[in-house]
Amino acid sequence: MRSIANVPDSHWPFADPQNVAILTSTDILHHDKPILFVSHDVDDGAWQFHTGKNLSIDRATMVALARIVALDPSLTELADLPLGWIATRQTLTDPWVRFINK
């Protein structure tokens, strides 16, 4: 069985499997909006990938981690983001800035 992002498991940078469900928005998946906010939640270890704007429930969706990484390969830079931390950037080309979520 092939992985979702066609990345051999030996090269997959995240501790979570490629098919783990993550929270994102339809703006990213269907409207080509950039991912500018990433959260690695401390309470359940879940990943969230957003545009940086408030997410309304009607635009929330779940997809596999590999699918979101395929949309934006720069997300692999955040594979080691600790639980309870977030990463943000102002634009798609800016570097990620990490900090603990308080």
Residue 10 lies in a domain: no
pTM: 0.87
Model pLDDT, residue 5? 53
* pLDDT, mean of residues 88-100: 96
Question: Does the pLDDT value for residue 10 go beyond 80?
Answer: no
Residue 25 lies in a domain: yes
Q: What is the mean pLDDT of the chain?
A: 91
| Tens-place pLDDT, residues 66-84 | 999 999 999 999 999 999 9
Residue 5 lies in a domain: no
| Tens-place pLDDT, residues 38-71 | 999 999 999 999 998 777 788 899 999 999 999 9
Report the number of distinct structural domains present in the chain: 1
Residue 22 lies in a domain: yes
Burial call 59-69: b when 16+ CB within 10 Å, e when fewer:
bebebbbbebb
Give the range of the structural domain holding residue 23, as residue numbers without chain letter. Answer: 16-92
* pLDDT, mean of residues 28-35: 94
